[in-house]
Amino acid sequence: MRNMQMSLAPRRAVAALAALLLAGSVAACGNSDTGSEGGGDNEKIVMGFSQVGAESGWRTANSTSVKEAAAEAGIELKFDDAQQKQENQIKAIRNYIQQKVDVIAFSPVVESGWDTVLKEAKDAGIPVILTDRAVDSADKSLYKTFLGSDFVKEGRLSGEWLVENSKDATGDVNIVELQGTTGSAPANDRKEGFAAAIAADPKLKVIASQSGDFTRAGGKQVMEQFLKAHPKIDVLFAHNDDMGLGALEAITAAGKTPGKDITIITIDAVKDGMQALADGKFNFIAECSPLLGPQLMELAKKVHAGEEVPARVETEETTFTQEQAKAALPTRKY
C-alpha cells in the first residue's frame, strides 16, 4: 500500500504543480479577457465613436475632424455611422462595450432614450463622452462630460439679429421656421432661443414651423409646402445651412428672390452656407463649429488617465453678416 502511496506521491506533487501552473496561466488569460492589452501605459487608447449620420455639410466636417484628430492623437478610432437612427447608435454602443473599448464617444441623434445603454457602459467600467449633442438623462454620472455648442444661444443670436433688423418694418413680419431633426437637442434648443429673442417685438410672428430633418431635401420639400400655404412669407429661420440651401431652390422656383423678398437666417456657417451669405441669398448665419475632434481627443486622454474633466465644455463660435462672410470665406476651414 505504502509503495502505492509512495508511487502516488510524486504523481500527486506533479499534479499539484500542474494545477498551480494551470491556475497561473488561467489568471493571466483572465487578465487578457479584461482588455489588459488596453491597460498598459504605452498601449493605444481605443475609442468607440457613434456618429449621427452624414445628413449635412456640418456632419461631414465633424466626422472629418474626429477622424483626423484621432489619427493625430494616436488614438485607435472605431467609427460607426448611424444613418440618423437611434437604434443604430444603441447597437454600436453595445458593440463597443462587448469589444471592451477604453472610451465611448457619441453625438446622440435625439435627446431621450439613452439611460439604459449608458448604464450598461457605466456598469462595464467604460467612460462615455457626449460630443456635439446632449442627452436629457437626469443621471449625470452616466457620462463624463458634454463637449459641444450652446444651441439655445445660437437660436437667441439669430432672433436678436432679426429684432435688430426689423425695426423699420410696418405691420406683421411673417416668419416660417425649418426645424432640425425632431427631438434633437439642436432643434429643441434653437427653437427655444429664437422664440425667446423675437418675443421682444410683437410684429415678429412664426406662422409655420416644421422639421426638415437637417437635410437639403427636407428643407426644399417643407419650404415648398410653406410657400403654397402662405402667400406672405417675410423671413425664413432654418436650424441649419443645409435646410436653408434646400429652401433656396423652392424660393427661386416660386419666383421670389432669396435674401431680398424673403430674409434668410440659418445656423452652422459651413462653406456652402457662407457662400450663399456672401452672395446675398442668406442674410445672417450663427456659427456652430463642427471642429470638435482635437478637444474630444484631449478629453478622451484625460478620462482614460482617470483625470478630472469639466462636466461641460462649450465650443467657441461667432456670427456672420454678408460682409463678414465675404471676408471670412477665403480662410474658412470647413
Q: Does 58 bind ligand GZL (CB under 6 A)?
A: yes
The whole-angstrom separation of Cα 219 and Cα 247 is 5
Q: Which stretch binds ligand GZL (CB under 6 A): 56-64, 73-81, 117-125, 164-172?
A: 56-64
Contact 133, 108 (CB under 8 A): yes
User: Minimum Å distance from CB 319 to ligand GZL?
Assistant: 14
**Residues from 260 through 299 that contact ligand GZL (CB under 6 A):** 267-268, 288
Using the minimum distance from each CB to ligand GZL, give the nearer residue, 148 or 159: 148
Q: Which stretch binds ligand GZL (CB under 6 A): 50-58, 72-80, 114-122, 216-224?
A: 50-58
Q: What distance, in Å, lies between the first and last C-alpha atoms of the chain?
A: 87
Grouping H, G, I as helix, E, B as strand and the rest as coil, residue 168 is coil
Using the minimum distance from each CB to ligand GZL, give the nearer residue, 45 or 109: 109
The whole-angstrom separation of Cα 300 and Cα 131 is 11
Q: CB within 8 A of 73, min separation 6: which ones?
A: 294, 297, 298, 300, 301
Q: CB within 8 A of 8, min separation 6: which ones?
A: none
The whole-angstrom separation of Cα 51 and Cα 150 is 19
Which of 159, 186, 212, 258 touches ligand GZL (CB under 6 A)?
Answer: 186
In the numeric block, the cell 458634454 is attached to 146
Q: Does 59 bind ligand GZL (CB under 6 A)?
A: yes
Q: Does 56 bind ligand GZL (CB under 6 A)?
A: yes
Binding mask 104-123 for ligand GZL (x = CB under 6 A): --------------------
Contact 46, 97 (CB under 8 A): no
Buried b (16+ CB within 10 A) or exposed e, 301-324: bbbbeeeebeeebebebebbebeb
Q: Which stretch binds ligand GZL (CB under 6 A): 53-61, 202-210, 220-228, 254-262?
A: 53-61
Q: Which stretch binds ligand GZL (CB under 6 A): 18-26, 32-40, 51-59, 296-304?
A: 51-59
Binding mask 231-260 for ligand GZL (x = CB under 6 A): ---------x-x------------------
Which residue ranges make up the site for ligand GZL (CB under 6 A)? 55-56, 58-59, 132-133, 148-149, 186, 214, 240, 242, 267-268, 288
